[in-house]
Amino acid sequence: MDVALPLPLQTAFSYRVPEKWPVPERGIRVTVPFGPRRVIGMVTGPSPPAGGERALKDITAVVDEEPLIAPPLLDLAQWVSDHYLAPPGECYRLALPPAGVRASRAKIRATPKLSADASADGEPVLLALSSGPLTFAALTRRVGRDPSARVARLRAEGKVVIDQELEARGFRQARIAVLIDAAAAPKARGQAEVIERLCGAGGRAPVADLVRDRPSLRGALQRLERAGTVRIEDERAMRSPEVMPGGSARALTLTVDQRDALGQIAPLIDDGRYGAFLLSGVTGSGKTEVYFRAAEAALARDRGVLILTPEIALTPFLVRAAAARFGPTVAVLHSDLSAGERHDQWWRIRERETRVVIGARSAVFAPVDDLGLIVVDEEHESSYKQDESPRYHARDVAVMRGTLEGIPVLLGSATPSVESYTNAAKGKYRLLVLPARIGAQGMARVEVVDRREMLKAGSDPILTPVLREALAARLERREQALVLLNRRGYATSLLCRECGLQASCPNCSVLLTLHQRGRNVECHYCGHQAPTPTACGACKGEYLRLSGHGTEKVVEAVQAALPTARVERLDRDLAVRRGAVQKVLASFEAGETDILVGTQMIAKGHDFPRVTLVGVIDADVGLGLPDFRAAERTFQLLTQVAGRAGRADLPGEVILQSHLPEHYALRFACAQDYASFYEREMEFRRTMAYPPVAALVNVIFRSRDADQASQAAETLADRVRADAPGRFRVLGPAFAPLAKLRQEHRFQVLLKGDRASMREAVRRALVGQFGAVRWPGVAVDVDPLTVL
Ligand code: ADP
Ligand code: ZN
């Protein structure tokens, strides 16, 4: 059998099934020997015939009676592994219950020792002693807040179906195996007692009853919970995902455009047929209603629905609307959920307690049974791409899942990615268009203010008079405004006026940003923080100057210009506090805030009816980046934020301050003209052979030892070059644009051309060089979103 191991290894491993054992199905977890350890792996299929007579080791135990994951998800995990050149163990883990044991550390050192006891109904209860947890998915944190409502439940996944040693002792079907620390054997008795009591109670009992006569069993119960054998849940808390109050359950009367769009998707939902749709609709054109109607059509056929959104914390309105519409059948996979809550949600979905799942990137692997529709809202968002292994893009995975499950996939955006629009142009996706805003207001009026001229005239570098007056007018009329600057912090650099050096991160090759009114410095890449130095690190000069500005300083400037305004800030610094984002958004929605200043976080799918002005402090942030997506990103951000103005019955106005008003990204964003932007951008992609004209594979080598990283990069580049002619180009090796990160030097080899050939060449080069074991410092990024 081929077994994927939860280790960062590029390949699956072959094992033998002991004689007379039934052959475990694909998707069943097994334990296998790996070096001196036993690890849990997942059967991925029969092994290819071995070249030569290899002595395969035996599988030592079968963990599951039936696969935890359905076949389409197994296929999907395998596809992710193949497409993104990612270790199969890491890819299969995506489809398993979350909050598991960090898989790379899941190990079982000692061979379990066994003791047997009798459960209430006479079947043997087995205690397997070991020093580590056996399951991938375990370790849940306590969920319940109200102790009286807490219920303990034996988990099916704690079962060991077949184990060699158990078998030797005459146990064919072990009822349950409990894994505990061999060194802590006496504690095992308490755990055995808890298991026995739970078995006696039919697998499920209130915690209070379980420990009433022996309070000392609480510790044992906790250990079982940590090991994943017992799940402790709060029935009431589990059933109500955190959503903002409000939201309407009322379905709207569809516009003609909405009805046309739905009319194209509905037949595929009804027949259960694959098809990918790109719903391209300007901001405020009513895409959400199309999603919901399609979802209702799937639910009516008793099929499940998956709705992906870039970031749950930023889309409380979508979540709220969905909760109001679909009621308790919604599961929200919130990034704020504790490990235990996430684990519970996974099981609720798997057990069909919920039929509509809303979540970010990783929810694309949610175990929705009998799925009928996948929606990917804001499909252009970069947060759909995972920036650690496996480096998958949730939109592309969603389309593949749709293919495998045979169901429609609906991608929506006001600013589609250049890739998706190209796919629509080629007929790979079907294009659905919502050309106009709902309501009479139409799009907001956009004005560009040339900052160069304003600065020459001696104006404030943050708020030009035009923007300041527009803000003041809103305040007077009791309307609201959004102010965007896509850069958090106070100032962007600390400059020594004597030697001209700027303070940079000790770990990375980037400048430090100033925070808290300049009191602290912070690296936005590695998180390094320190009090702002009082002297230059190089020349010891004491004349230091703050330069550039971030959102913190914008708040200060707005407050100074409009002392009576109630101003709040929304950016990543705020998001680190649980619930803070929702609070700021809720108070803005309630009208308790007049002006909301923020990064791209304010540009997301919000629908605030009283916002009539959007100001952009510096529309060129990001255009200067040496990245092929700089223009696309800027166009998307500006179009999206402009779309926040004037969405209800009040007309909207947008003011963009810019140094580069002629740039096409700005011009077409002002005109809200996606089609023209696309044409112009594709010219650039064709000239430079950038995606979607050619595919990219980026291979990054990292090491604290610069020579080691550069030599490895050299070796790889040499090997893949042999396969390159006529298929792809090899650029580099060269310093990565971020040449040093977290004290590691980085070199990159960038391949451009035919994806399948590049993937194959890299796969062979890596395996040839490093064997099955992945070299620790190499990161392969297939279809990178950025080459920065
Ligand atoms: P988008 O997601 O395309 O930006 P929304 O789905 O947020 O747009 O819709 C914009 C506004 O129009 C929302 O307030 C929504 O309630 C309203 N709306 C959508 N469809 C209709 C409809 N058919 N009739 C009336 N109002 C609608
Ligand atoms: Zn750093």
pLDDT in tens, 63-112: 777 788 899 999 999 999 999 998 888 898 898 876 443 332 222 222 23
In the prediction, which pLDDT does 434 show? 94
C-alpha dihedral sign at 235, 239, 243, 246: negative
- For residue 493, pLDDT over 70 is answered with yes
Q: Residues 43, 27: contact at Cβ < 8 Å? A: yes
Which one is predicted more confidently, 727 or 247?
A: 727
Place 154 in a pLDDT band, splitting at 50, 70 and 90: low
Which one is predicted more confidently, 314 or 689?
A: 689
Assign 373 to helix, strand or coil.
Answer: strand
Tell me how far apart the alpha carbons of residues 584 and 376 are, in angstroms, rounded to a whole number.
26
Which one is predicted more confidently, 257 or 165?
A: 257
- For the segment 133-147, the average pLDDT, to the nearest whole number, is 28
CA distance readout (Å), 184 to 181, 189, 538: 5, 10, 55
Which ligand is nearest to the Cα of residue 286, counting in written order? 1
DSSP H helices in 498-650: 551-561, 572-575, 580-589, 630-642
- The protein residue whose alpha carbon is closest to atom 2 in ligand 1 is 287
In the prediction, which pLDDT does 187 show? 58
Nearest atom in ligand 1 to the alpha carbon of residue 255 is 23
- For the segment 415-425, the average pLDDT, to the nearest whole number, is 96
In the prediction, which pLDDT does 12 show? 81
- For residue 270, pLDDT over 80 is answered with yes
Q: Residues 136, 225: contact at Cβ < 8 Å? A: no
* Interval between CA 707 and ligand 1 midpoint (Å): 57
In the prediction, which pLDDT does 776 show? 64
| Paired sense of beta strands 653-658 and 611-616, if any | parallel
Show Cβ contacts of residue 496 under 8 Å, excluding neighbours closer than 6 positions: 502, 503, 536, 538, 539, 541, 543, 544, 545
- The protein residue whose alpha carbon is closest to atom 23 in ligand 1 is 254
CA distance readout (Å), 161 to 61, 373, 446, 626: 8, 35, 66, 55
pTM greater than 0.85 (yes/no): no
Assign 39 to helix, strand or coil.
Answer: strand
**Which of 140, 110, 147 shows the shortest CA–CA distance to 33?**
110
**Which of 752, 470, 463 shows the shortest CA–CA distance to 613?**
470
Give, for ligand 1, the residue of 289, 376, 674 to mutate: max count of ligand atoms closer than 8 Å to Cβ.
Answer: 289
Place 235 in a pLDDT band, splitting at 50, 70 and 90: low
In the prediction, which pLDDT does 750 show? 94
- For residue 256, pLDDT over 60 is answered with yes
- For residue 218, pLDDT over 50 is answered with yes
In the prediction, which pLDDT does 130 show? 28
Which ligand is nearest to the Cα of residue 505, counting in written order? 2
- For the segment 199-226, the average pLDDT, to the nearest whole number, is 78
- pLDDT tens by residue, 600-648: 988 876 778 889 999 999 998 888 888 899 999 999 999 988 888 876 6
- The protein residue whose alpha carbon is closest to atom 20 in ligand 1 is 286
Report the range of poorest mean pLDDT among 164-168, 394-398, 531-535: 164-168
In the prediction, which pLDDT does 133 show? 31
Classify burial at 528, counting beta carbons within 10 Å of its beta carbon; exposed 0-12, middle 13-18, buried 19 or more: middle
Nearest atom in ligand 1 to the alpha carbon of residue 285 is 3
Which ligand is nearest to the Cα of residue 744, counting in written order? 2
In the prediction, which pLDDT does 105 show? 28
In the prediction, which pLDDT does 246 show? 56
Give, for ligand 1, the residue of 255, 315, 438 to mutate: max count of ligand atoms closer than 8 Å to Cβ.
Answer: 438
Q: Torsion angle of alpha carbons 156, 43, 331, 333, nearest 10°?
A: 120
Q: What is the DSSP string of 713-781?
A: HHHHHHHHHHH-TTTEEEEEEEEEEEEEETTEEEEEEEEEE-HHHHHHHHHHHHHHHHTTBPPTTEEEE
Place 309 in a pLDDT band, splitting at 50, 70 and 90: very high
Rg (CA), the chain: 28
* Interval between CA 586 and ligand 1 midpoint (Å): 19
Strand (E) positions, 235-389?
Answer: 275-281, 304-308, 330-333, 356-359, 371-376
Which ligand is nearest to the Cα of residue 522, counting in written order? 2
* Interval between CA 192 and ligand 1 midpoint (Å): 57
In the prediction, which pLDDT does 146 show? 37
- For residue 353, pLDDT over 60 is answered with yes
* Interval between CA 281 and ligand 1 midpoint (Å): 11
In the prediction, which pLDDT does 228 show? 67
- For the segment 380-396, the average pLDDT, to the nearest whole number, is 94
Which ligand is nearest to the Cα of residue 443, counting in written order? 1
DSSP summary character for residue 481 = E
Tell me how far apart the alpha carbons of residues 547 and 552 are, in angstroms, rounded to a whole number.
13
Residue 552 CB-half CA count within 13 A: 17
Strand (E) positions, 310-378?
Answer: 330-333, 356-359, 371-376
| Residue ranges around ligand 1 (CB below 6 Å) | 252-255, 258, 281, 283-289, 438, 605, 607
* Interval between CA 252 and ligand 1 midpoint (Å): 9
* Interval between CA 610 and ligand 1 midpoint (Å): 15
- The protein residue whose alpha carbon is closest to atom 25 in ligand 1 is 252
| Paired sense of beta strands 37-45 and 61-62, if any | unpaired
- pLDDT tens by residue, 741-765: 888 999 999 999 999 999 999 988 8
Q: Residues 410, 287: contact at Cβ < 8 Å? A: no
| Paired sense of beta strands 778-782 and 330-333, if any | unpaired
* Interval between CA 278 and ligand 2 midpoint (Å): 39
Assign 399 to helix, strand or coil.
Answer: helix
Most confident of 32-46, 303-317, 469-483: 469-483
In the prediction, which pLDDT does 165 show? 57
In the prediction, which pLDDT does 215 show? 82
Nearest atom in ligand 1 to the alpha carbon of residue 283 is 4
Show Cβ contacts of residue 336 under 8 Å, excluding neighbours closer than 6 positions: 242, 312, 313, 578, 579
- For the segment 569-594, the average pLDDT, to the nearest whole number, is 87
- The protein residue whose alpha carbon is closest to atom 14 in ligand 1 is 607
* Interval between CA 438 and ligand 1 midpoint (Å): 6
- For residue 245, pLDDT over 60 is answered with no
- For residue 43, pLDDT over 50 is answered with yes
In the prediction, which pLDDT does 51 show? 58
- For residue 244, pLDDT over 60 is answered with no
- Cis, bond preceding 245 (omega within 30 deg of 0): no
Q: Residues 368, 354: contact at Cβ < 8 Å? A: no
- For residue 339, pLDDT over 80 is answered with no
Rounded to the nearest 5°, which phi and psi values hold at 9? -115, 140
- Quickly count helices (H) and strands (E) in the chain: 23, 34
List, as ranges, residues with CB under 5 A of the ion ligand 2: 505, 507-508, 523, 525-526, 528
Place 168 in a pLDDT band, splitting at 50, 70 and 90: low
Tell me how far apart the alpha carbons of residues 489 and 573 are, in angstroms, rounded to a whole number.
8
In the predicted model, what is the mean pLDDT of the chain? Answer: 81
* Interval between CA 548 and ligand 2 midpoint (Å): 19
Show Cβ contacts of residue 35 under 8 Å, excluding neighbours closer than 6 positions: none
Place 277 in a pLDDT band, splitting at 50, 70 and 90: very high
**Which of 459, 557, 548 shows the shortest CA–CA distance to 495?**
548
* Interval between CA 288 and ligand 1 midpoint (Å): 7
* Residues composing the chain: 788
What's the one-letter identity of residue 442?
G
- The protein residue whose alpha carbon is closest to atom 19 in ligand 1 is 286
Tell me how far apart the alpha carbons of residues 127 and 154 are, in angstroms, rounded to a whole number.
14
Classify burial at 288, counting beta carbons within 10 Å of its beta carbon; exposed 0-12, middle 13-18, buried 19 or more: buried
- For the segment 14-40, the average pLDDT, to the nearest whole number, is 83
- For the segment 702-727, the average pLDDT, to the nearest whole number, is 90
- The protein residue whose alpha carbon is closest to atom 4 in ligand 1 is 284
Place 198 in a pLDDT band, splitting at 50, 70 and 90: confident
